[in-house]
A and B are shown apart, each in its own frame.
Chain A
Amino acid sequence: MKIDHSLPLEYSTDQNKLNILGFWIFIGAEIMLFATLFASYFTLVDRTGSGPSGAEIFEITPVLIETLLLLTSSFTIGLGVHAMRLGRVKAMLTFFSVTLILGLAFLGVEIYEFVHYVHVGAGIQTSAFTSILLTTLGTHGAHVTLGLFWGLYIILQVKKRGLTPQTANKSFIFSLYWHFLDVVWIFIFSFIYLKGMM
């Protein structure tokens, strides 16, 4: 395996470069996935049937907490990748762990939010609006959940194997994924919650 030392570790082998490009293309597909969900959401947002509308069920406090948690986690994983580039494994692992804890907290608040919706009579079967709302939020939440496991695996691997071209590559790709989830959340926050509450 040829290692090119003039590049950051995560780009240092041919396979690493392929992995990163492939993941960017995968993010392209993910954008289409969420775009389809958003398009369906905008189509169905006013079709509430006999159920509640967004303005009646949205609560600003949990949403703001979630936003704060996820945006901070995106910042900390940025710091983690920065630490990785400096070769400081301990700092990197700390930042990655903080990221995952913030992600876990986000997920906790989101689960609370879902319970609240079901409690006020906005379950997934209530109306077309609640179906698409919970599906869109749930798809994002499922991505975060998957990310928690994935991130944990990467932390364990870096701990055990140290920073190699492979582990650096995985960590970097994971950071791309995490930032992407953050971007999706910004759209959810703006176009689902804020627009719904206005």
Chain B
Amino acid sequence: MSLTTTKAANAGLHGVVAASLLRYGLILALIVVFAIFSAITPTFLTLTNLQSVLVNNFPLLAIISIAMTFAVASGGIDLSVGTAMDFASFAFVSLVLAGQPVAIAALAGLAAGALVGAFNALLISVIGVSPFLATLGTLFIGRSVQQLLTNGGNPVYLPPNGVPEVFRFLGHGTLAGFPVPLAIAIIIAVATAVMFVHTRFGRITLSIGIQPSVVRYSGIAAPAYIAATFVLVGLIAAVGGLILTATVTVYIPSSGNAFLLNAIGATFIGTTLSPLGRPNVGGTILGVLLLSIVANGLLLTDLNFYWQQVGTGTLIFAVLALSFINRKAGSGA
């Protein structure tokens, strides 16, 4: 009896040690990366550069990664976050060009993103397709629809003088000293972090992601929550789409997909950082920071521009490997 309990305790202890090693290892890695970049590029550790990371790279990826965090927290994944961005962007640009007020156009954009999410929700919760396949299908169809709508993929520009002032503000203005995109990202991060921890919806979504069968056996209609999660993912991604459009004043078909892998990477970095191994907004934000800083640092070095992708890819790969090896060790197999 005592023998087996000690064994179990050891396995638990081992898991805890491994998990904390991993977490501190990641933070250490961040510091090392930081040090290397400051050493080899003079401009890296300057206020302007770090500001530019926060203003340019960070907000959009943060918003999309938060959306992804919800999908992963519910036990799934959403490969169509880019599609929701694109649809939001397209709806917005089209309505503005048609002379509609910005508010109406923005609402329509959000609705378009939510609609993409609702389509996923239908496939996943009603029909029972796995989230990966459902959102993959949505990604495909979305790409085709966009090309049809744009005569084979031509960008739709907002006329430079026709951009409403409100819209310029959304892309380039400041709010209480913060650039508006950054302010919006912070608001969404705080709101969703509260949602995860302090609402019934957040609690149930996380529980579904951890063990859906128990949620069902507790009398909770899990499919409804999963459906709501995917609609929410589409909605948050749509906010990202609007900000992207506001910044560049153009809608480029299928441009949202560029964020997909980094959003997945950031979400899993965040999951790895969490002591319980759960997807969480704070961790995701740290993941986004890490990825943005690495991307910026690589950009500043004299290395070939394309090494950036290899670098971030390798980083994400390493984090995934660590996280899964650790999970295997933690489960005491």
Tell whether A and B belong to one assembly.
no
